[in-house]
Amino acid sequence: MPRSVICRSGEGRLIEIGPSRNWIKLAAEESGGSIGAIEMELDPGFPGPPRHRHNQIDHLWYVVAGRVDVVVDGRAARLAAGDFAFVPRGTVHAFANLGDDPARVLEIDAPRTLDGYFAELARAIRPGAAVDPEVVAGIQRRHDTTPVGSQIERAG
């Protein structure tokens, strides 16, 4: 059953995945699994995930600070603080921080959450350890994530 949540700045369950820190602001158990919110802090040079799609999940991205490079449905854009993007389910997309400064993005996911996905990835992708592609592929399958291409590359 959903319950009210107030999550202040700097609060939330921290999940670290490689060069990103992710604060779960609204988790599946709080929303009844219908909507989730994750604040992502992306280090400079963060390559992001390969292009992928979700068949059951919509993303709303709001850039809080810095700049984030995105590819949505084949269109590349650099989003700055205050910019917003909607990525409907089925749309091929990716994001990265190819700039020289940290970036912060608020991601809202509906009508399913991705906090479980982030938690599993953090357990599978340990700092300094080799990434097992088969393990990551299994996590992706369990969480409605289908890779369809390569990572975003810095232009020029």
* 44-54 residue pLDDT tens: 999 988 899 99
Confidence (pLDDT) at 156 = 41
The helix/strand/coil state of 103 is strand
pTM, two decimals, is 0.90
The rounded mean pLDDT for the chain is 92
pLDDT at 152 over 80: no
d(CA 100, CA 123): 27
Give the residue from 87, 110, 89, 106 showing the smallest Cα distance to 36: 110
Section 81-92 average pLDDT: 97
* Nearest alpha carbon to residue 92 among 134, 45, 55, 41: 55
| Banded model confidence at residue 132, pLDDT cuts 50, 70, 90 | confident
In the chain, domain spans: 13-147
Could you say which architecture CATH assigns to the domain 13-147?
Sandwich (2.60)
